[in-house]
Structure formats: C-alpha cells, structure tokens
C-alpha cells in the first residue's frame, strides 16, 4: 500500500512503525475471510484491509479523525485472526493499537462514551473494586432486560457477565518432589475476581510439576485493557510497574499467565515498554515442561474453544488440545474455531450488539459438538460463553489439574442453568 507521510510525521517513531506496517499490505484480501466483523457485516471498512486504509488516511491527515473512521476502528475486535492469515507478515496488532491511541488523543467522544471508557479501567483493573462491582451486578441481574430495552446495552452487558460466586481455595506455593525451578504466576486483575479457582488449579499443577510459584509483590494489571482503549501511556505505566515487581522476584524460568489476553500483552512488552519478558501461557509452559502423570483419567468429551489471544495473538494452537488429549479427554473441534466469540477484552461491553451476535454463533457451533464440557483458556471467553451454553465452561488448566490429582472443577460439581449463571 502506498503512503504519503511527511518527513515531520515520520519523525514520530510510532508513525514510522505504522507507516512501515501499512506499506506491507498488498490488498490480497485473505484477511477478509477470517475477520469476524467482515463476516457479519460484509462492509470493506469493517475488514482489516479496509481499516488499514482508514488508518493510513487518519494518520496522514492532520486534525481529528472523522466519526465514521472511529466507528469502524472501534468495531475491530483485535482478535488478530488477520495476522494468522496475512501472507505479508503485517503486524496488525501494532497498527490497531496505534490507531486507537491516536483516536484517544485527537478525537473527542460524546460524554457518555468518555465516562464509560474511564470507568472500565478504573474498575476492571482493580480486583477489589471489580469484586464489589460483581457483587452489585449479581443483585441487579433482574434489571438486565429493562436496561436493554432502555437502550443501555453496555450496562446490560456488564450484568450479563457477572458470574456466580466462586470460593477462594487455599494453596501452597512450594514445589512438590524434585524441585525444577521457579516461576512467577501473573496474578491478574479480572480473573481473580471472576474465577479464582483458575489460579488455584494453576498453582497446584505447577507445584506438582516441581516448580516454586512466586506471586510478585507490587504486580498489577498487565495493561491490556488500557491498551485496547487507546490509553497507551496508562498501559505503559502499568507495564513498567510490573517489570519493576518482577525484577525483585529473583531468578525465574518464566512469567506464567492463565489468561491468554494477558499473555498476549506481556509478549508485547518489548514494543509497549521497551523490555521483553519471558512470558509463557500456562498451557504453553506445561506442554514444554511436561504434564505430570495422569492419576485419575476422565474419558469426557471436551469442546476446546481456542481463544483468539492464544491462537492468533500468541500463535499457540496445537498445545492445548494435545494436552487435553494426553490427559485422556476426547477433544472435539469446534466449527469456525478461528472466529472470535465476541469477548475481545471489553468489546462485549463497548460493542454489545455485535458481540452478542458473535457469541450466539460461537455457542451454536460449540453446542453442535455435543461435548460434556467446554474448555477455554481465557477468562473473557469463559464469561462471554457461559450464559449461552448448557455445558459447563472451565479453563483447560482446571481439567489438567483434576486428572493429575486436583479437585473436580467447581463448574462441573453441580449443574447450573443459564438463569443461574
């Protein structure tokens, strides 16, 4: 793609990086077949190829971007399916993040959008605030239909995502048996409030594998939510605070994450904060280090939902289903597995109508597998899909922990109806 940036514009490193990525686009159109919003809407401006053209025009033209450009960029899920299919190796993640930061700086949104976009990171990146918000959300759940009819879809979406209460189980951080090393386990912000059982399962599994687990003091949000909202400086500050916290943790083998969205962000720290880190998704780490002996095989049919941040953002595709199969589960593939479920960070709040359509499409494909349980490696996907499915939705690490000596996943211990979720 041809560009016409001035030398003054290219003096900005971010603009120069984006200009380089834009020039890689050859208009082949491979990305359109895998882009969820293009599949739904059929509008070229809602495809990666179309958005790249809009971003080029926006960055080359001084002043605030047109509202129409903002609309089409806002509709991007950042699922990065286009990255998987792009033959030119274009870093669309860098490009869309820069575009959102540019919009945040140069475009003034309506007051209610500004308020919502300020509240999201103020609550979701702080576990104590999020825990309180979820408790209030459960109490207000009966109001969801009223809010939807009153055209307050973002608030209705927030209530829909509030999961049932989860118990905090005690855990030990010291390795069992022969010690193999130390890892930092990212504590996260959304997952501890919405599904604390995932952390417990990960810690039990890692210590069973012979690793001491470190919960780094001073660690906070990875910055992904802020980055997706275009709040680049805020995301950079969070990243640097985490880098400082991990530097005090001593020698470690890896920084392990149980939320795929966080893992994608950590693997971008070299670009975001100028310092790369040895980040590993929990399933990636287990696949490399080796699954502990399976002591209680469970021949259940499992539908594996591949989170976009895992399969596209981190290009981890084979390890999760292979681990589940190695553990004795019957893994069933989900049709259109490359398409996003609509969670996409906070997309299901900001773009609830499109997110709802994607969720129903994904839920129908998962239900068609007839699996007894659904495994998803990202808390956002789990929260998005659970209300639309009859089968329990769990993290793969919960299943792997179960068959190697841990407890049965909480979501599978008692049947829950959609009304209860």
Q: Is residue 39 part of a domain?
A: yes
Assess if residue 72 is contained within a domain: yes
User: Could you tell me if residue 128 is inside a domain?
Assistant: no
DSSP reduced 3-state for 59? helix
| pLDDT at site 420 | 36
Measured over the CA atoms of residue 115, residue 118, residue 121 and residue 126, the dihedral's sign is: negative
Residue 226 lies in a domain: no
- Give residue 416's pLDDT: 47
Indicate whether 2 belongs to any domain. no
- For the stretch 166-193, pLDDT in tens is 555 556 789 898 999 999 999 988 888 7
pLDDT in tens, 226-244: 999 999 999 999 999 999 9
Does the residue 142 lie in any domain?
Answer: no
CATH number at residue 48: 1.10.1060.10
| Angle of CA points 372, 304, 180, to nearest 5° | 110
Residues 311, 312, 318: CA angle, nearest 5 degrees: 25
Sequential pLDDT tens for the chain (421 residues): 889 999 999 999 999 999 999 999 998 989 999 999 999 999 999 999 999 999 999 999 999 999 999 999 999 999 999 999 999 999 999 999 999 999 999 999 999 899 989 988 888 888 787 777 766 666 655 655 665 554 445 554 554 555 555 555 556 789 898 999 999 999 988 888 778 889 999 999 999 999 999 999 999 999 999 999 999 999 999 999 999 999 999 999 999 999 999 999 999 999 999 999 999 999 999 999 999 999 999 999 999 999 999 999 999 999 999 999 999 999 999 999 999 999 998 898 899 899 999 999 999 999 999 999 999 999 999 989 988 999 999 999 999 999 999 999 988 986 543 433 3
Whether 376 maps to a domain, the answer reads yes
Nearest-CA neighbor of 15 among 81, 50, 62?
62
User: Of the residues 52, 72, 106, which one is the last residue of a structural domain?
Assistant: 106
| Domain range enclosing 65 | 7-106
Domain boundary among 59, 85, 106: 106
Q: Which of 351, 335, 338, 336 is nearest to 384 (CA)?
A: 351
- Are the C-beta atoms of residues 345 and 355 closer than 8 Å to each other? no
Geometric angle at alpha carbon 337, from 331 and 338, rounded to 5°: 140
CATH code of the domain containing 407: 3.40.50.1860
The predicted structure's pLDDT at residue 31: 93
pLDDT for 143 = 57
The answer as to whether 377 is a domain residue is yes
Strand partners, 303: 332, 374
Q: Which of 71, 106, 141 is the last residue of a domain?
A: 106
C-alpha 372/C-alpha 27 separation (Å) is 42
- How many domains does the chain contain in total? 2
pLDDT for res 1: 85
CA dihedral of residues 311, 314, 315, 319 (deg, nearest 10): -70
DSSP string, 291-360: PPP-SS----EEEEE--HHHHTSS---SHHHHHHHHTT-EEE--TTTTS--S-TTTHHHHTHHHHHHHHH
């Amino acid at each position: 793609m041809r560009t016409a940036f001035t030398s003054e514009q290219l003096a900005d490193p971010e603009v120069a990086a984006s200009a380089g990525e834009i020039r890689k686009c050859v208009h082949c159109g491979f990305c359109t077949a895998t882009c969820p919003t293009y599949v739904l809407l059929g509008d070229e401006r809602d495809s990666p190829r179309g958005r790249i053209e809009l971003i080029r025009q926006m960055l080359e033209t001084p002043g605030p971007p047109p509202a129409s450009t903002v609309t089409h960029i806002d509709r991007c899920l950042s699922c990065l399916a286009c990255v998987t299919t792009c033959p030119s190796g274009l870093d669309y993640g860098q490009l869309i993040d820069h575009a959102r930061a540019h919009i945040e700086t140069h475009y003034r949104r309506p007051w209610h959008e500004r308020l919502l976009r300020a509240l999201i990171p103020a609550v979701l990146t702080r576990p104590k605030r999020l825990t309180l918000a979820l408790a209030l959300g459960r109490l207000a759940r009966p109001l969801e239909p009223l809010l939807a009819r009153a055209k307050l879809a973002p608030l209705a979406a927030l209530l829909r995502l509030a999961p049932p209460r989860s118990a905090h189980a005690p855990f030990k951080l010291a390795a069992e048996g022969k010690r193999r090393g130390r890892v930092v386990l990212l504590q996260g912000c959304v997952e501890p409030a919405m599904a604390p059982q995932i952390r417990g399962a990960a810690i039990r599994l890692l210590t069973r594998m012979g690793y001491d687990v470190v919960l780094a003091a001073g660690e906070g949000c990875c910055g992904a939510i802020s980055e997706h909202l275009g709040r680049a400086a805020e995301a950079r500050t969070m990243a640097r605070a985490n880098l400082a916290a991990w530097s005090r943790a001593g020698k470690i083998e890896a920084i392990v994450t149980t939320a795929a969205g966080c893992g994608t962000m950590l693997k971008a720290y070299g670009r975001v904060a100028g310092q790369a880190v040895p980040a590993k998704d929990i399933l990636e780490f287990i696949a490399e280090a080796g699954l502990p002996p399976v002591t209680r095989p469970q021949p259940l049919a499992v539908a594996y939902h591949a989170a976009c941040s895992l399969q596209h953002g981190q290009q981890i595709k084979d390890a999760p289903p292979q681990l589940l199969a190695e553990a004795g589960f019957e893994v069933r593939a989900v049709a259109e597995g490359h398409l996003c479920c609509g969670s996409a960070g906070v997309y299901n709040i900001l773009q609830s109508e499109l997110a709802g359509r994607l969720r129903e499409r994904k839920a129908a494909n998962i239900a068609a597998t007839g699996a007894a349980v659904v495994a998803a490696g990202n808390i956002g996907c789990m929260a998005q899909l659970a209300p639309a499915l009859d089968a329990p939705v769990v993290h793969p690490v919960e299943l792997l922990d179960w068959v190697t000596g841990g407890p049965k996943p909480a979501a599978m211990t008692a049947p829950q109806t959609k009304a209860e979720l």
